[in-house]
Structure 1
Amino acid sequence: MGLLSRITASRIAETAGTDPAASGPVSTALYNEDLAPTKIAGRRWRAYNIFTLWANDVNSLGNYTFAIGLFALGLGAWQVLLALMIGAALLFVLLNLSGYMGYKTGLPFPVLSRISFGIRGAQIPALIRGAVAIVWFGIQTYLASVVFCVMLIAIDPGLSALYRNSILGLSTLGWICFGVLWIVQVVILMYGLEMVRKYEAFAGPIILFTMGALAVWMFFRAGGSISWSTGSELSGAPMWNKIFAGGSLWIAIYGTFLLNFCDFTRSAKSKKSITLGNFWGLPINICIFGIVTVVLCGAQFTVNGQIIKSPTDIVHAIPNTFLLVIASLALLILTVAVNLMANFVAPAYAIANLFPKKLNFRRGGLISAIIGIVILPWNLYNSPVVVEYFLGGLGALLGPLFGVFIADYWLVRRARIDIPALYSPAPDAEYHYRAGVNPRAVLAFAVAGAIAVAVAFVPELAVVAPFSWLFGAGIAALLYYLIAERHRDYRAVSGESIAVSSTD
């Protein structure tokens, strides 16, 4: 196992504030430039950049489908808003905890995972997160390609002839649209996270304006009067159950992001940037999102007594071709922005972490994008079994992973991390544990994961199924903390990381 040059070792020392030699040799099997802690000078993410991440992600088509679904369950306008705000308040707290971890250490998610799972065991959370992201990357690209096809056919109806055949489950026009969007996303990622930051900053205002304009248009289309419920509004205990279930599911939607938010906050200028970006991007932005959802649903219900499934239903009904094209372009810009941040960055780091000596962030991203095509995601999306059991099962494991991370970093280690040891293969290094795997973290994760999956899928537990993420995260955090308290040797930390200015 080869050692890095003195220059590489100095790079880690400069960022982490400690001497790598104190933890033994630093290995190329654990390190490359993309997996190294972010230098202070390279941190360009401000509060606005964090805000635009959420401006894009919160307003994703999937989130609108979820929020609109709350209406279909019998919740009225104020109840839907309350459910979303409960989730937003908890997300604000949890994402600050997750974000601060990335800011303090400057580490990407797979390397940060080494703290609790070990230098080898970290592959478990990284690959679970990466697998979920790769599948959703393909699915989201496919859904965006459908919008792209509709837009092109609106411009040139003759293209509809290319939309009727099927090649491996996708039409000729579908393949063209999917391929164009795939290439656009890969090109953006090839320029690194800095280009992702710029794209998110560009896309955020566009989608906020577009969704606001759609809400205003629908309000006037409904004659200035909208329905505040579907007429079958719940009350009493069933109502409160749906409200809290909606808030819990809103958190579960962000289960992936709760894990790898550090991939972005490792480049944050300060803790204040994260806090302000999260404040405007989560509770404030989600409140606006909820109001837009209420207006879109209520106006459509007033117009024809039907509940829309997604904002795309409204876009496709725009009578003016020019405005339909503009709205469709905005949705394409949005979907690319969401896909980049939620489903492209994570697997790029996860794959690079498998073979750091051979793969970097860009190569990892390209490999994950290729897998996103090979799996033929449109066929997966059309299979309820795959979406519900495969993605649902993996999703249920995200809560326990988060619980272990939070308990280990904040409660057990009290944010004191020996960063150079994260790149050391030495048997006596801090995060070597047993053959590079922390059995205590694996045990807590396995037990809590089994419970979370059971809560999510066992029919007899259907009433608490929406709370599976919270159950998994809470049980994993408690179990890991109790195990660590019993074995206090795991609390020995060689020093506190100084990845950022101590003035914060």
Structure 2
Amino acid sequence: MKEPNELAVKDPSLYNEDLAPVSKEKKNWNWLNYTTVWMGMVHNIVAYETAGSLLSLGMNVWQALATVIVANVILIAAMWLNSSSGAKYGVPFPVLIRAIFGYKGAQIPIIIRAFVAIFWFAVQAYAGSKAVGAVLGVLIPGWHSLASFHLLGMGLDDAIAVALFWILHAYVISHGMERVKFFELWAGPLVIVLGLGLVIWAIVVSKGFGPLFSEPSKLSGGEFWGVFWISVTGLIGTWATLILNIPDFTRFSRSQKDQMIGQGIGLPGTAIIFSIMSIITTSGTIIAFGKPIWDPVELLQQFGNPIILILGAIALLIATLSVNVAANVVSPAYDLVNLFPKKLNFVKAGLISIVIALFFAPWLWYNNSGIIFSILGAIGGALGPVAGMMIADYHIVRRGKYDMASFYKKDGEYEYKNGWNVNALISLAIGLIASFIGLIFPALKELYNYSWFLGIGVGFISYVMLMRSSSKHQENILENIPTSID
């Protein structure tokens, strides 16, 4: 890649090819690529279960739909605000975050974000492995008898399914971002076919839409609002890592218009449609089976038809591979490359990430909707302050201007004090306290329902105030900073 003049001098501990600005010829993702990437990410087992489980929390269909719509409108606003820096400068999250925390301090949010993404990989991969087990159970006689043998807290049949699905992930990421782009182009739309089939079944079994939408809510007015906000926070928590590392994708965009249109169609558009499918289908299971079944693999098994089970499970496998590679491998891969730029590239780091994910052992705690929303809320609360600080830094503090050369050297504008921006560390601490104050003080427990909102808001405000109080920083941003890598 031909390097810009301002990057002629760079520190090898802060730079390699995966962290470098994307060249013009590689900025070839158009709006369709971003639409299909998001389709691939939102059409997955965990997203289906998360939307469907709103009914198991006591909501009716209308309440669940409203919850999903509100969460996705908020999400796309946050995504757009944090996407533009990647599209403009062509650099990933681990590089952009240096402008906020300093080249050393940046490792803190990078490690937090990598930890969360790898955790999410484990959750998604385990969910998808259940579909692998369902297919093998149909194709191999006596497959489920292996469950009597135990390994790492699960039956041997589940352990083999987990191992096979992990290997599939390794295959997809083995050729870098171009394979991710190609895979996402067709994986997302395929899952819509499965979703439509389940919706048709729900309508038929319910004899029309009427019964689906007439199931009463089990929540009173006050109870509903408590569940509503913690559910919105949980749904946002599903994509909390993507809010931070969306520049990892938009850095390849042909233009700001491409990434904004593609994401606008792909995130709120297809996410809401897919959630509607999940909610309608789950509502149909209440009528058909007397209880909400929000696990799509369990639902497919209820039909007792091996062909339906195999085809449906394969679609779910593709869906889960799609979201896991895009959302939960790309981000920690770039994070690990940033930590060890001399030793790792994207593919090696991605493979390391999926190995680390095994240690989260999701098979020990996964099957509980209450636990899932609690975890999602914690994830959103932990990453909210960083998202607020990123948005504040680019749009308010620096007004869209970064010094490209300083991203890759230790004595540039982002050196701060020996590589640490104390203002950013204080702001992060304040934001985290705001996010989790409901857990720290029982009298304020209701505030935990709004953990992501508190985190992003307090992180945004405190960062702007602290940075504007720094006279040295004010002098720096008034300098004639290069705004292009051309």
Change (3 A) 1:375 1:313: closer
Q: Deviations over 1:162-221 (max 9, x none)?
A: 232112223333332222221221122120011111111121111111111111122112
Residue in structure 1 matched with residue 483 of structure 2 by the alignment: 497
Residue in structure 1 matched with residue 232 of structure 2 by the alignment: 247
Residue in structure 1 matched with residue 148 of structure 2 by the alignment: 164
Residue in structure 1 matched with residue 253 of structure 2 by the alignment: 268
Q: CA deviation at 1:479?
A: 0.5
Residue in structure 2 matched with residue 5 of structure 1 by the alignment: none
Matched, 1:199 2:186: no
Q: CA deviation at 1:112?
A: 1.1
Residue in structure 2 matched with residue 327 of structure 1 by the alignment: 312
Residue in structure 2 matched with residue 36 of structure 1 by the alignment: 20
Residue in structure 1 matched with residue 399 of structure 2 by the alignment: 414
Native 8 Å contact 1:380 1:387 kept in 2? no
Letter in 1 for 2:389: V
> Matched residue of 1:120: which SS?
coil
Change (3 A) 1:168 1:302: closer
Matched, 1:284 2:259: no
Residue in structure 2 matched with residue 339 of structure 1 by the alignment: 324
2: CA distance, partners of 1:366 / 1:284: 32
Native 8 Å contact 2:134 2:309 kept in 1? no
Moved more, 89-98 or 173-182: 173-182
Residue in structure 2 matched with residue 474 of structure 1 by the alignment: 457
2: CA distance, partners of 1:246 / 1:393: 12
Change (3 A) 1:220 1:393: closer
Native 8 Å contact 1:218 1:295 kept in 2? yes
1: CA distance, partners of 2:369 / 2:74: 30
Q: CA deviation at 1:237?
A: 4.7
Residue in structure 2 matched with residue 4 of structure 1 by the alignment: none
2: CA distance, partners of 1:83 / 1:436: 42
Letter in 1 for 2:92: P
Native 8 Å contact 1:259 1:402 kept in 2? yes
Residue in structure 1 matched with residue 302 of structure 2 by the alignment: 317
1:294-305 superposed matches below 5 A: 294-305=279-290
Q: CA deviation at 1:389?
A: 8.3
Matched, 1:443 2:430: no
Match for 1:430 among 413, 417, 420?
413
2: CA distance, partners of 1:232 / 1:90: 24
1: CA distance, partners of 2:281 / 2:367: 26
Unaligned runs of at least 5 residues, structure 2:
none
Letter in 1 for 2:186: F
Q: CA deviation at 1:497?
A: 2.5
Number of aligned residues? 482
1: CA distance, partners of 2:378 / 2:220: 31
Q: Deviations over 1:266-303 (max 9, x none)?
A: 11121111111122112222331232133212212222
> Matched residue of 1:96: which SS?
helix
After superposition, the CA RMSD in angstroms is: 2.4
Match for 1:146 among 114, 125, 130?
130
2: CA distance, partners of 1:391 / 1:228: 27
Q: CA deviation at 1:134?
A: 1.5
Change (3 A) 1:394 1:218: closer
Residue in structure 1 matched with residue 63 of structure 2 by the alignment: 79
Residue in structure 2 matched with residue 364 of structure 1 by the alignment: 349
Matched, 1:460 2:443: yes
Residue in structure 2 matched with residue 51 of structure 1 by the alignment: 35
Letter in 1 for 2:353: S
Change (3 A) 1:181 1:88: same
Q: CA deviation at 1:437?
A: 1.2
> Matched residue of 2:212: which SS?
coil
Identity of paired residues, percent?
A: 33
Change (3 A) 1:305 1:328: same
Unaligned runs of at least 5 residues, structure 1:
1-7
Change (3 A) 1:40 1:489: same
Change (3 A) 1:55 1:387: closer
1: CA distance, partners of 2:218 / 2:377: 28
Native 8 Å contact 1:74 1:229 kept in 2? no
Change (3 A) 1:368 1:173: same
Letter in 1 for 2:66: L
1:112-123 superposed matches below 5 A: 112-123=96-107
1:344-359 superposed matches below 5 A: 344-359=329-344
Q: CA deviation at 1:121?
A: 1.1
Letter in 2 for 1:497: T
Moved more, 334-343 or 63-72: 63-72
Native 8 Å contact 1:132 1:395 kept in 2? no
Letter in 1 for 2:303: I
Q: CA deviation at 1:478?
A: 0.2
* TM-score (normalised: structure 1): 0.89
Q: CA deviation at 1:380?
A: 6.2
2: CA distance, partners of 1:239 / 1:355: 47
Residue in structure 1 matched with residue 278 of structure 2 by the alignment: 293
Residue in structure 2 matched with residue 209 of structure 1 by the alignment: 193
Q: CA deviation at 1:235?
A: 5.3
Native 8 Å contact 2:114 2:335 kept in 1? yes
Letter in 1 for 2:56: A
